[in-house]
Amino acid sequence: MRILIKNGTVINAGGRQQADVLIDGDKIVALVGRAGEDAGVSDKAAAALLALGADETIDATGKWVIPGAIDEHTHMELPFGGTFAKDTFETGSRAAAFGGTTTIIDFAVQSKGKGLQEGLDIWMAKAEGHAVIDYAFHMIMSDVNGETLKEMDRIVDQGVSSFKLFTAYPGVFYSDDGAILRALQRSEKNGALILMHAENGIAIDVVVEENVLAGNTDPIYHGISRYPVFEGEATNRVIRLAEAAGAPIFIVHMSARDAVEAIQAARDRGTKAFGETCPQYLFLSLDDLGNGFEGAKFVCSPPLRAESGGHQEALWTALVKNDLQGVGTDHCPFDFEGQKELGRGDFRKVPNGLPGVEDRVDLMHDGGVVGGRITPARWVEIISANPAKIFGLYPRKGVVAVGADADVVVYDPNRKHTISAKTHHMDVDYSCYEGREVQGGSDVVISRGRIVVKDGEFLGKPGDGQFLKRETAHWVRKN
């Protein structure tokens, strides 16, 4: 199958060019500059390829042609608090595709007392034959011991080159400082990248208990109990441990100004510290956790922050200045009815997580590009190129270039639409952005040369998504 995308503006992290894009099979085979512009490969060979014609021609006049977006942080079917995140790899990856995302990096979980390999095998089985777009895995480490440290090397060899540890959730995922240091040391030997959920879970539990004893059991107390300083402290601590190990580190889902300040200070002294935030921390606030039990819809960890704390502006500034490199969704949807409701009368029992995999690209375009904060090229860098580089997928993914996988989105930067649970494709009964109008939308979404979404219609197939073996994290060691 040969697809020609004509008359569009190609936007990569490096800038824009007027070029036609030719796809043959699962690869991009030619970029041909127009109107005298040099697209870099507008040579005779490209012209000859073009002359062969295409099975399908897409007119992208007035549209942008961007690399398929990469969501570096999703949790399909994650077990949490006695229930499971509602989206499967099939429904979640289909929703992702509608939103212009052609790769997800999900989290395989090592259960306490079990091996890493066993956890990875379980998550492989959940995805294989079901995902409609390509997928890769990070590995959550629940136990750090001699056995699992050795096992890390074998997991890296299988293309899973990042491991997530937690300073939160004592008794479940929590790792102490010694465990974190050991994992960081090991990553320096096997080339992996350590990801951290950085909130001081032991301190948080003290305040949680105080609030529950005082009868403060509404969802908003989930947010109130998890102080920004607990995130700032843990972020600084794990970065210092990375410095001690001489290893790079990546902080996931940063929400608080205090944490941003910690990563900025680290980068200013030359530490290879990297981080992401999520749309919910850029667009929502503690106020959304109010309104009685309705606030359960917005329970996630770290929590949404008070508008008055300057958190959103600090996060945007960090994205502009590259102190943060990415925006993942932390997509982990639970229905309000029957799932979030498990926490009625006790915020500790509300499953943690929000839906978002479908909305990220448009929200970042609307708030970032239309909002005047970032350029279109920086937007592409945040949603696609940087995750590809940081997580060992570049230049196979994350760029519209000859030889790259044909993951391409024809994006309309002017089309407006209203986000709603009535029209979204995620398998969850509410939207955190209900009624919000955003500018920008994915018209055509191509995953390795197959059109999976066109003009709002799904044309993909479960099982067409492939597992991506990722390289070691060499990019973060050079940058």
- Of 72, 330, 366, 381, the one binding Zn ion (CB under 5 A) is 330
Residue 218 interacts with Zn ion (CB under 5 A): yes or no: no
Compare residues 302 and 392 and give the one whose CB is closer to Zn ion: 302
Burial of 427 (0-12, 13-18, 19+ CB in 10 A): middle
Q: How far is the CB of 275 from Zn ion (least distance, A)?
A: 13
- Give the three-class secondary structure for 325: coil
Among 9-17, 61-69, 138-146, 327-335, the segment contacting Zn ion (CB under 5 A): 327-335
Backbone angles phi and psi of 323, in degrees to 5: -75, -25
- Length of the chain, please? 479
Minimum CB–partner distance for residue 75 and Zn ion (Å): 6
**CB closer to Zn ion out of 195 and 385:** 195
Enter the DSSP assignment of 399: S
- Coil, helix or strand for 72? strand
Minimum CB separation of residue 290 from Zn ion in Å reads: 24
Backbone φ and ψ of 21, nearest 5°: -120, 125
Q: In whole angstroms, how close is the CB of 369 to Zn ion at the nearest point?
A: 26
Does the protein bind Zn ion through residue 231 (CB under 5 A)? no
Which residue of this chain has its Cβ atom nearest to Zn ion in the complex? 330
358 binds Zn ion, rule: CB under 5 A: no
Stretch that binds Zn ion, among 4-12, 28-36, 305-313, 325-333 (CB under 5 A): 325-333
Residues with Cβ within 8 Å of residue 272, at least 6 apart in sequence: 242, 247, 248, 249, 476, 477, 479
DSSP 332-369: ----TTTTGGGGTT-GGGSPP-B--TTTHHHHHIIIII
CB of 330: closest distance to Zn ion in angstroms? 4
CB nearer Zn ion, residue 20 or residue 71: 71
Give whichever of 278 and 380 is closer to Zn ion, judged by the CB atom: 278
- Mark the segment that binds Zn ion (CB under 5 A) among 113-121, 324-332, 437-445, 448-456: 324-332
C-beta atoms surrounding 357 within 10 Å: 31
Q: Judge whether 283 and 255 are in contact, CB under 8 Å.
A: no
Q: How far is CA 289 from CA 91, 190, 212, 294, in A?
A: 27, 42, 17, 7
Rounded distance between C-alpha atoms, residue 30 and residue 49, angstroms: 7
Whichever of 71 and 330 has its CB closer to Zn ion, that residue is 330
Taking contact as CB under 5 A, which single stretch among the options 55-63, 173-181, 301-309, 330-338 is the one that binds Zn ion?
330-338
Tell me which stretch binds Zn ion (CB under 5 A): 97-105, 323-331, 360-368, 400-408: 323-331
Q: Does 276 bind Zn ion (CB under 5 A)?
A: no
State how far the Cα of 49 lies from the Cα of 27, in Å rounded to an integer.
Answer: 13
**How far is residue 172's CA from residue 146's CA, in Å, rounded to a whole number?**
19
Closest approach, Cβ 428 to Zn ion, in A, equals 16
Q: How many chain residues touch Zn ion (CB under 5 A)?
A: 1
- What residues between 291 and 310 interact with Zn ion by CB under 5 A? none
Nearer to Zn ion, 50 or 69 (CB): 69
When the beta carbons of 85 and 131 are compared against Zn ion, the nearer one is: 85
- The CB-of-448 to Zn ion minimum distance in angstroms stands at 26
User: Minimum Å distance from CB 280 to Zn ion?
Assistant: 12
* 199 contributes a contact to Zn ion by CB under 5 A: no
Least distance to Zn ion, CB of residue 107, Å: 6
Quote the CA–CA distance of 46 and 282 in Å, as a whole number: 42
Nearer Cβ to Zn ion (328/440): 328
Using left for φ > 0, alpha for ψ between -120 and 50, and beta otherwise, residue 291 falls in left
Closest to Zn ion by CB, 358 vs 405, is: 358
Question: If you search the block for the tokens 């055509």, which residue do you land on?
Answer: 444
- Decide whether 222 or 378 has the Cβ nearer to Zn ion: 222
| Minimum distance from residue 256 beta carbon to Zn ion (Å) | 16
For 404, phi and psi rounded to 5 degrees? -80, 160
Cβ atoms of 213 and 150 within 8 Å: the answer is no
Helix segments in 246-307, DSSP class H: 257-268, 279-283
Residue 105 or residue 260: which is nearer to Zn ion going by CB?
Answer: 105
Residue 465 C-beta: closest distance to Zn ion, Å: 20
- Give the binding site for Zn ion (CB under 5 A): 330
